[in-house]
Structure 1
Amino acid sequence: MNLANNHENSIQANGYSVYPHDIKTNFMSIIGHCQVKGNVTAKELINKGTTSANDCFVETVENIGNLSINRLQGEKIVTSGHLKCKGNVSAELFQSKGAVNIQGSLHANTIYIKITSTSNVDIVTSKGDITIKKSRTAFLNLLPTRLRTKRLKGEKIVIEHVEASEVVGDIIDVGPNCIIEKLYYKTKCDIHSKAKVLSKHQIR
């Protein structure tokens, strides 16, 4: 077991590592199991293992393992593993191909999600584009695979396999296997024949 210091320029966490306090670093790479009992502040974080932490303030995040945190704030977040967050996630770019479970809100200027298994995000908002589609690998799963959210709001929205209480946007394309309770659009709205939208309203 490695007991790491709380401030280093570069951290390579291999095997089983424990960080008992907050850590600040330029670069952090994790292979194995890593537990951070405080917050993480870094320019770049690459997680290839199983990592847990409190709040993370990281410019660039690449997650291809299991990342479980309280809150995540960054500029570019790319995850192809499992991301679990108890609070909010915010970024300029959020890109995911895997499982996402965010109990708070997800906010980014650009959001692109490919669903491989059932995911949950309390609220999804963007000042720009939101794209949520089902990954090809997920079609091998016979069980229903959707992203569930209470509210999804953006400018240009392209979604499929999404279950939402409310969707709000300028241009909205609702693809197959979506279940939407309320939809509000400003300019244009297309709904796939295999989607279910209970109510649709144009914003004047």
Structure 2
Amino acid sequence: MGGERTKRLKVIGEGTYPGGDYEKVKVTGQGKVSGDIRAVETKVTGEGHVKGKAAINQLKVTGKLTIDEELSSNELNIIGELNVGSSLKANTGTVRGFLNSLGNAELEKLHVKGGVNINGLLNVGELIINLQGAPSKAVEIGGEMIKVKCRSFFSRPQTLQAELIEGDSIYLENTTAKMVRGSNVEIGPGCHIEKVEYRSTFINKDKTILEAKKI
């Protein structure tokens, strides 16, 4: 397959292009891909739309990219906006804009200085969110290390909302959740948590927790 992936796609104006295998894809205008796409490297500074699945080793979005179906990637760098119509799977992700997925999202590492909206399970080994610019939401969040902070000095504080947050080490600020479960749990300011279950340590800096139990 590596020998076939020699094509390059460069979108400057507007147009619709076929899916397939590409070495590099660069979108500075408004481009649509009419099927599944596989690429080693893709950069979107304009507006892109993939009407199918996408498998991209390195993806950088400073504009806006919409993928109708699933996305798999090794490295994500989102400074603009990425919308995924199905599931998302990647090794590492850096979001300094907004990430939206209508299905589950699975990553080894995800660092966010912006917002995320996951309409399913966000499964991450290491998750660090600095809530900025937009509220964040996921149905469930699972991971080894989960850290959520709110450091908006010059703008309105944002929030994270989830039904369940479960991990080994958890620190939360400005978070609303029905259940938080982990080994070492620390609840910081601005949280609204209905129930906490912890195995080792529990630190509560916010008095809005309705119930806490060691398991």
TM-score w.r.t. length of structure 1: 0.93
Q: 2:163 aligns with which of 143, 150, 155?
A: 150
Q: CA RMSD in A?
A: 1.1
Contact 1:175 1:195 in 2 (8 A): no
Q: 1:92 aligns with which of 99, 105, 108?
A: 108
Deviation of 1:141 after TM superposition, in Å, equals 3.0
Structure 2 counterpart of 1:67, which letter? L
Structure 1 match to 2:213? 201
Deviation of 1:108 after TM superposition, in Å, equals 1.0
Q: 2:78 aligns with which of 58, 63, 70?
A: 63
Structure 1 match to 2:129? 113
Moved more, 69-78 or 146-155: 69-78
Where does structure 1 differ by over 3 angstroms across 4 or more consecutive aligned residues? Answer: none
Structure 2 counterpart of 1:119, which letter? S
Structure 2 counterpart of 1:107, which letter? N
Whether 2:94 is the aligned partner of 1:78: answer: yes
Distance in 1, Cα, partners of 2:155 & 2:63: 24
Structure 2 match to 1:17? 31
Secondary structure at the counterpart of residue 78 of structure 1: strand
Describe how 1:131-150 pairs up with structure 2 within 5 A: 131-134=147-150, 136=151, 138-142=152-156, 145-150=158-163
Structure 2 match to 1:31? 45
- 1:11-43 CA-to-partner distances (Å, cap 9, x unmatched) read 111111110100011111111110110111011
- 1:75-132 CA-to-partner distances (Å, cap 9, x unmatched) read 0011110111111110110111101111111001111111113211110001x11001
Distance in 2, Cα, partners of 1:95 & 1:145: 16
Contact 1:129 1:157 in 2 (8 A): yes
Number of matched residues?
Answer: 198
Structure 2 counterpart of 1:66, which letter? E
Structure 2 match to 1:164? 177
TM-score w.r.t. length of structure 2: 0.89
Contact 1:124 1:152 in 2 (8 A): yes
Contact 1:177 1:195 in 2 (8 A): no
Distance in 2, Cα, partners of 1:94 & 1:24: 22
Q: Which runs of 5+ in 1 are unaligned?
A: none
Deviation of 1:195 after TM superposition, in Å, equals 4.1
Distance in 1, Cα, partners of 2:175 & 2:64: 27
Whether 2:120 is the aligned partner of 1:104: answer: yes
Deviation of 1:139 after TM superposition, in Å, equals 3.5
Identity over aligned pairs, percent: 24
